[in-house]
Amino acid sequence: MPSSLIGAIGLARQSAKDSVATPSYIPVTSSSLNLSQNIVTLPPEVGGSYFLRGSFKASEMGAGDMSMVVRPNGFGQFLMAFSGVDNVTPVVGQSGAYSHVFTPFAPAAGVDLPWFTLVEDKAKLFAIQFLNSKLASLRIDVPKSSMVTSTASWIATTPSYIASVGVVSIESTPQFQTALGTVALTQEGSGTNISANSVKMERFSISMSNNITSDEYSVGSFTLDNVTLLQKTITIDMDVIIRDTALYQAVYLNGGSIPGAWSSSIYRGALTLTLNSSTNIATTTQPYQMVLAFPGIDFMMMPISLSGADLVRASLSTQVTLGPSGADTYTITLVNSIASY
């Protein structure tokens, strides 16, 4: 009986639209990439019967999600698909190690996103190639005492069936364990902790979305003509253990003291999350690393629930914006052994 374990997921950035790229293969925990077809029934016709007269296939596209353990080499493909900008520099004194800086809000990334070729081999039964794909959303989960995982959602203009791929080489770079990570939550511009007691994080959930169209059909074609970026949105939820009132005051009183009145001003913080691997890159002394730096996040909500015989916990919800200056562009730096994406 076929097993998902003998399937394969591959992706690669295209040099241009309609230009098939040779994919590299990554391990995923689940994938639901599929061909989606729109079947429409004919309208009721005068002189017809009480039953529907027929239906037709109006269009097709590719869409679906994939979940994975974050591994430093392959994950750069997803960051490239989300941001469209990758500034690469060799790590000084560490031959074979490269630092990739992805800047999703950079001007060069605000116009369009790169095209990707995706391949999903259905356990050697058949395979589907998704040409001209773009990333719709990317979520990163960083829980306590565990490993970092991610979920990505794709839209493709042109799916097609191809022969099942043969033996593939699956990426084997190490995962990021959260026990090797550090978190800094500070007030924007100050560089000091909001409170050393109230930033004991239990979980991060970073949701990044590309608002892209999925309706650019044209007369004479069954497939999407294009997938256009309209806007980017990023939200971050942090589960925290509450040990003092500092974070609550930041969210609702703009940092004011208790007792005090609710403030209509938005408190802005800065967040830096640094993740390291327990393994160094090849022959270097440089560990695989990922640094997420958010210089400006708006504090939105922090409801607190009380439960008997338990710690006081809350979930701090924030959104990433460019702020009044329009200059708070966030970056994701990935250090691995890939020269370019």
Instruction: Measure the CA–CA gap between 57 and 118, rounded to whole angstroms.
Output: 24
For 114, list phi and psi in degrees, rounded to 5.
Answer: -70, 150
Classify residue 106 as exposed, middle or buried by CB count within 10 Å of its CB (0-12, 13-18, 19+). middle
Amino acid, res. 260: G
Instruction: Measure the CA–CA gap between 125 and 7, rounded to whole angstroms.
Output: 9
Give the count of beta carbons closer than 10 Å to the beta carbon of residue 326: 9
Using a pLDDT cut of 70, give the percent of the chain over it: 97
Give the count of beta carbons closer than 10 Å to the beta carbon of residue 307: 8
Residue-wise pLDDT for 123-143, tens only, equals 889 999 999 999 999 999 999
Q: Is pLDDT of 210 > 70?
A: yes
Instruction: Measure the CA–CA gap between 118 and 159, rounded to whole angstroms.
Output: 9
Amino acid, res. 168: V
Residue-wise pLDDT for 257-308, tens only, equals 999 999 999 999 999 999 999 999 998 999 999 999 999 999 999 999 999 9
Classify residue 61 as exposed, middle or buried by CB count within 10 Å of its CB (0-12, 13-18, 19+). buried
DSSP secondary structure of 129-169: EEEEEEEEEEEEEEETTSB-EEEEEEEEEEEEEEPPP-S-P
Residues 10 and 23: beta-carbon distance below 8 Å: yes
| Confidence (pLDDT) at 106 | 67
Helix intervals (H) in the chain: 75-83, 246-253
Q: Any idea where the domains of the chain sit in the sequence?
A: 4-41+57-336
Torsion, Cα of 22, 27, 29, 34 (10° steps): 10
Residues 283 and 303: beta-carbon distance below 8 Å: no
Instruction: Measure the CA–CA gap between 128 and 125, rounded to whole angstroms.
Output: 10
Amino acid, res. 214: S
Residue-wise pLDDT for 295-327, tens only, equals 999 999 999 999 999 999 999 999 999 888 888
Best CA proximity match to 234, nearest among 323, 162, 297, 314 = 297
- The backbone region for 230, taken as left when phi is positive above 0, alpha when psi lies in -120 to 50, beta otherwise, is alpha
| Confidence (pLDDT) at 245 | 92
Answer whether the bond into residue 259 is a cis peptide, omega within 30°. yes
